[in-house]
Chains A and B, each alone.
Chain A
């Protein structure tokens, strides 16, 4: 959709494009591609934009328009929101509203996050918005509602005690009058959940425990008391299907992560799963577990991508998922039925799927005292990086790692202690991937990988020497934007993978790119290293 047409559409829509972000606007985010209303761009999390002013022909002319650099040096993993010419983003302890065309600040909201709350993962993925309220989940465990006009706090709720090994990194998801999110634990063996909070008051409305307690369905998959320290964190934002009123969230690995001793035998539900929850009540409608009894840290820490496809001759509402365990999945998102599973990177742990979609784990795929060679490695075939689906090309795009690890486990996991890591992994000899740029391609590499979701077959690769932590954006101009740890940010032809433009931002690109329009121009934004960079065509 070009800008001129968009401007006329804006005039026609008039009042509906007021600053208030209503549920109806969220449902029809495709009608206002100049804005970016959720972490994944829309409830389907396709990270696909209808903007077409930047094309395959002119993308080589992209120039840097402005930069926002927060006061903090932490790696920036944030995807901004854009509403009616105002860009909102967050880093560390700072939330800002800036003019989307110039980068100049309207306001800055500061909140002191205790540095001791988690020095290892002081990252935040982004914000959510409802009405004119922004929602920020700080990693010390607060959910804060901020007035989008003035940058002042409306309410501030403490959701958890970070001293127990919990934190919030996720960009929340607003559905109707609820803001939905969950905590993560970075291997501290503290059980996690997904919960909905009232956008007006912050009061908790419902909670789904990702590790069920005794008497709850799924607890039988945890032997003895192992459920008490099962983990199953929430690291990234979910998606929403308004037709079924289901919200879908990926869950992280069980604890201890690299030694299943205390939790064997058992699948350890609902770790490493996608759960489909009623958005009004939090009731579990279905689940699919990608990696039962995981011992390799293969979180289902991916954004569920929703698409409507022609599937074996009939329309089907599906979910596309490239998992950390190295397999690409297609699920029926109404029922959770397994439709397709196929490795998208080298893997040596799964002998195939049974008819229910359960993987058949190789008996050799067990951590051992002497070390077990495993593909993909601990970082996975992909990780938390947002993939993209283009309805135009029909392709699914994922940042992939072909890699390996050697996993050594402790003979005894030892007692769980609050506030201490609970991994079961041997501290030395754990192995890992050879570091770039010294490895060969046979040892590992990163790539933007295009997959045909109807077959799971790879269509093309854009290879890098190093791995990539970047998300992916596609547009209706058949452009794909991504980056990587080498510091490059680039545009590819979404149909062929051909490189069309690149620039070097001097630091890891570890965020999902997004695009928007303001003041009559299309922009592409990406966070890299510790800053937000915004590109556009020359004036």
Chain B
């Protein structure tokens, strides 16, 4: 049993993976992305789903995917919506994941934190900071696609607007 299938199933959002300037998909107005959206319903949807299996909002959730605590400051509503329906359109380098196979055949997946010629550093699905010598690996692959499935057609327009409205309200806590 390897631990690498779980994040694919569990992760819902890689919203912050999209660069600020991503314009590869048709631009949608901010108003239409959140039209009729209710942030309270969006929050309930996010908390009831598996979003927080990969993402973190303030002190809740996982660190495996991008932290969404202040995503509303960083992304416009249309970019947030696009990240939900087309999450692989753009993935920021700092949000890439890596798949390792150790010499004994164990498969490990985590978010890539650092690497050099000799070693790789990641945070794995248990949220442990781990480091591997490349000489101890059979293979290692940096995943260019995100771990999140597209939710195009899986959410109603209202649900999508609710979630985008909630995410847009996340501006980060006072620190």
Taking beta carbons and an 8 Å cutoff, which residues of A are in contact with B?
19, 84-86, 97, 99, 101-102, 104-107, 147, 149-150, 152-156
Q: Are B131 and A156 closer than 8 Å at their CB atoms? A: no
How large, as a class, is the contact surface on chain B?
Answer: 10 to 19
Kindly identify which residue among A85, A86, A150, A155 contacts B175, using a CB–CB cutoff of 8 Å: A155
B163 to chain A, nearest CB (A): 23
> Does B23 have its Cβ within 8 Å of any Cβ on chain A?
no
A86-B114 CB under 8 A given contacts A149-B123, A156-B175: no
Q: Are B63 and A104 closer than 8 Å at their CB atoms? A: no
Q: Are A149 and B129 closer than 8 Å at their CB atoms? A: yes
Describe A's contact surface by its main secondary structure.
strand
Chain A residues near B56: list those with CB within 8 A.
150
Within 8 A of A (CB), among B143-175: 175
CB 8 Å contact bits of B123-140 with A (1 = contact, 0 = none): 100011111010000000
A99-B123 CB under 8 A given contacts A104-B114, A156-B175: no
Chain B residues near A104: list those with CB within 8 A.
114-116, 119, 121, 131
A155 to chain B, nearest CB (A): 5
A21 to chain B, nearest CB (A): 14
Q: Are A101 and B175 closer than 8 Å at their CB atoms? A: no
Q: Are A152 and B114 closer than 8 Å at their CB atoms? A: no
Chain B residues near A156: list those with CB within 8 A.
175
Q: Are A102 and B123 closer than 8 Å at their CB atoms? A: no
Chain A residues near B127: list those with CB within 8 A.
19, 149
Chain A residues near B133: list those with CB within 8 A.
102
Residue of B nearest to A102 (CB): B119
Question: How many Å lie between the Cα of A315 and that of B131 in the bound state?
Answer: 45
Chain A residues near B119: list those with CB within 8 A.
99, 102, 104
Sample (10) of A-B pairs whose CB atoms are under 8 Å apart: A97-B129, A101-B131, A105-B121, A106-B121, A106-B123, A106-B129, A106-B131, A149-B123, A150-B63, A153-B175
Question: How many Å lie between the Cα of A149 and that of B61 in the bound state?
Answer: 12
A136 to chain B, nearest CB (A): 13
Residue of A nearest to B116 (CB): A104
Question: How many Å lie between the Cα of A483 and that of B17 in the bound state?
Answer: 47
Q: Taking each of A85, A86, A106, which has the highest tally of chain B beta carbons within 10 Å of its own beta carbon?
A: A106
Chain A residues near B175: list those with CB within 8 A.
153-156
A149-B63 CB under 8 A given contacts A101-B131, A104-B114: yes
Residue of A nearest to B133 (CB): A102
A320 to chain B, nearest CB (A): 36
Chain A residues near B129: list those with CB within 8 A.
19, 85-86, 97, 99, 106, 149
Residue of B nearest to A133 (CB): B59
Kindly identify which residue among A19, A85, A150, A154 contacts B131, using a CB–CB cutoff of 8 Å: A85
Q: Are A99 and B63 closer than 8 Å at their CB atoms? A: no
